[in-house]
Structure 1
């Protein structure tokens, strides 16, 4: 549990902009452990703040190996009742687009529908995604 606490602090320091590359190997080791630190419970949580934290973490640590495990869970969050969760899900898909653009083709209609959203944060996120599509 000490390592878990240290990794949490490293993530916080990374979010503040500090260089924490020295801790990446320890984070990888922790995720490879038998018990597993993160088993997608945060994405299934009923607390929208936990879901937002999980989506933010995905933006920072997602790689090609993680995509199949979380893709459907993140896709479900596009229709979440909270605007902040939808915005974070779009941000994850923006990051996903850079790693695996071919997985995004069936979501075009959902993304177009989100252009009618009233929340400016969601609109900004979806427009950023469309700008990346066009590039």
Structure 2
């Protein structure tokens, strides 16, 4: 019953109506429910609350417990909330658990949570930059893709500190253009277009005013542009 009520409350909030009286029940649903109830509770929390909301303090122990759970689904749901609305004051309590998750099946979501932590409290995650590099070379393309969000932010702030990774980004872009990623990343038969755009942005930042890297970057950028143009024309012909 409470699960159905919470779904209706989320719908009301999406339409612009105030459903703040249900916020505490979203917390309780995440704390006390089974997997389905917990999923709805966490989803409601991520939609209802912001980082500064006082009710989030009531959810900290539940998140810590679920992050340590042997149930992958529970840990995944907890990571979703951490990546969206968790306050920066609670980062020290959660960060060690996130580092452990980088070696598990849900490491993609853990990388996104670390990205959120970097945005709100960069000084607290300075010691895990080596893990960012490990994520960039991860065998799972999803984890690698998640790490690019972090590197785009890092390189925008200080491109000179990441010049040594230029070759890695060029190699990744070549693999994308050549269709080496799983078909799940394709969009209308175009190989990972958003990933190509993100890599081109990173390479443009790294190669700006630096002739040493401009050659490799320009060559791969041209290949990416021609690939996007080719698939765009190919899609247009099918319309």
What range is the shorter-chain TM-score in? Answer: 0.7 to 0.9
Which one of 69, 76, 87 corresponds to residue 108 of structure 2?
A: 87
Partner-residue secondary structure (3-state), 1:118: coil
Give the direction of change, closer, same or farther, for the CA distance of 1:98–1:7 in structure 2 (3 Å limit): farther
Pairing of 1:115-130 with structure 2 (within 5 A): 115-130=136-151
Which one of 77, 84, 88 corresponds to residue 60 of structure 1?
A: 84
Confirm or deny: 8 A CA contact 2:112 2:146 kept in the other structure. Answer: yes
Q: Scaled by the length of structure 1, what TM-score is found?
A: 0.74
Give the direction of change, closer, same or farther, for the CA distance of 1:9–1:118 in structure 2 (3 Å limit): same
- Cα distance in 1 for residues equivalent to 2:126 and 2:17: 35
Unaligned runs of 5+ in 2: 28-52, 157-239
> Paired residues, what number?
125
Moved over 2 A (4+): 5-11, 17-33
Give the direction of change, closer, same or farther, for the CA distance of 1:64–1:7 in structure 2 (3 Å limit): farther
Which one of 144, 153, 168 corresponds to residue 132 of structure 1?
A: 153
- Cα distance in 2 for residues equivalent to 1:120 and 1:39: 27
Q: Deviations over 1:34-93 (max 9, x none)?
A: x9772511100111111110000112221122112211111111111x1xx101001001
Which one of 55, 62, 69 corresponds to residue 45 of structure 1?
A: 69
Name whichever structure is richer in helix by fraction: 2
CA RMSD of aligned residues (A): 3.3
2:237 matched residue in structure 1 = none
